[in-house]
Structure 1
Amino acid sequence: MPATKVLFVCLGNICRSPMAEYILRELVAQQGLSQQIEITSAGTSGWHNGEDMHQGSKDILYAHNINTNGFQSSQVRPEDIAIYDHIIAMDDKNLQDLARIFGGNRLDKVYKITDLLPESEYDYVPDPYFSGNFSETYTIVHAGCIAWLKHWQNNRTK
């Protein structure tokens, strides 16, 4: 069975989506599922292409013992819609941008991470680049990653 491919998306690919990428990678590794799930991230803009993740994202991940080595920001490409099984955005603007980038194709596999958290008070992940609140972002993204992994585990054999 081929690996499930997950792409996390935010605006610049330096704060929220890399945080989600590395959190889910850690959760997947802890459960011995790294061969079954491939995870990456990208931004809808190309503003930070080739850059490392924001220091605030690195700091909060390090505080939770998550290594961030090897990250390099990239931009979503139109062909990503055919490559990834799950494309998980951080907010409604990301969803709008993805619909534009993908031309409305196969948007059934594109959704917000907060869609996985129906009991949450959040319907999007606030951008800590603007809010400065990396702890809040981590809390929401971590909960979303746990919910995604549980959903994947419950549905992979069906």
Structure 2
Amino acid sequence: MKVIFVCLGNICRSPMAEAMFKQMVTEAGLSNQITVDSAGTSNIAEGSPADSRTKAILDQHNIQDDGMIARQLSLQDYYDADYIIAMDQMNVADAKAMAPAGLAKKVHGIYEATPGKADHYIVDPWITHKFQDTYNSLSEALTNWLKKFQNELNK
């Protein structure tokens, strides 16, 4: 199973989600079954490292960021991924609009797996400067995605 987390520039939310989810997948013993990546819907930050504030939050929680470099979501990603999970409404709309015919169904909102919160999203901390809030939101949402994927893999 391949999962790609998506935000606008791939320097704040999606790399944080990638790093956090990789650790969760490893701790769950699923590294050989779930591959995790991230990308942006735009190329605005392509080639840049994760935002220093994202790195600081990951460091506070002892989560490796593996020197991630921003990249734009590619057409190949739609064929390779099982799930493309986007952080906000604009990211969902953009990722669906970029999808090759028949593959937009792979795009999901970050809270879609969280009961009662499917319509919730994570605001860009590059704008709000609330990187800890982003971490807290991802902690909740990613836990539910992991449960969903564990159930799918056990079928």
Which bracket does the TM-score occupy, shorter chain normalised? over 0.9
- Corresponding residue number in structure 2 for 1:62: 59
Does 2:152 correspond to 1:155?
yes
* Aligned equivalent of 1:112, options 91, 109, 114: 109
| Deviation for aligned residue 1:121 | 9.5
Unaligned runs of 5+ in 1: none
Q: Is the 8 A contact 2:125 2:134 kept in 1?
A: yes
Q: What's the % identity of the aligned pairs?
A: 39
- Corresponding residue number in structure 2 for 1:80: 77
Which shifted more, 13-22 or 141-150? 141-150
Q: What one-letter code is carried by the residue in structure 2 that aligns with 1:142?
A: S
- Corresponding residue number in structure 2 for 1:8: 5
- Corresponding residue number in structure 2 for 1:35: 32
The total of aligned residue pairs comes to 155
Give me the TM-score of the superposition, normalised by structure 1. 0.92
After superposition, what is the alpha-carbon deviation per residue over 1:59-112, rounded to whole angstroms, capped at 9, x for unaligned?
A: 111111101122111000122111100100001101111122114532222101
Q: Is the 8 A contact 2:92 2:107 kept in 1?
A: yes
Unaligned runs of 5+ in 2: none
- Corresponding residue number in structure 1 for 2:89: 92
Aligned-residue RMSD, C-alpha: 1.5
Classify 1:104/1:94 alpha carbon distance in 2 versus 1 (closer, same or farther; 3 Å): farther
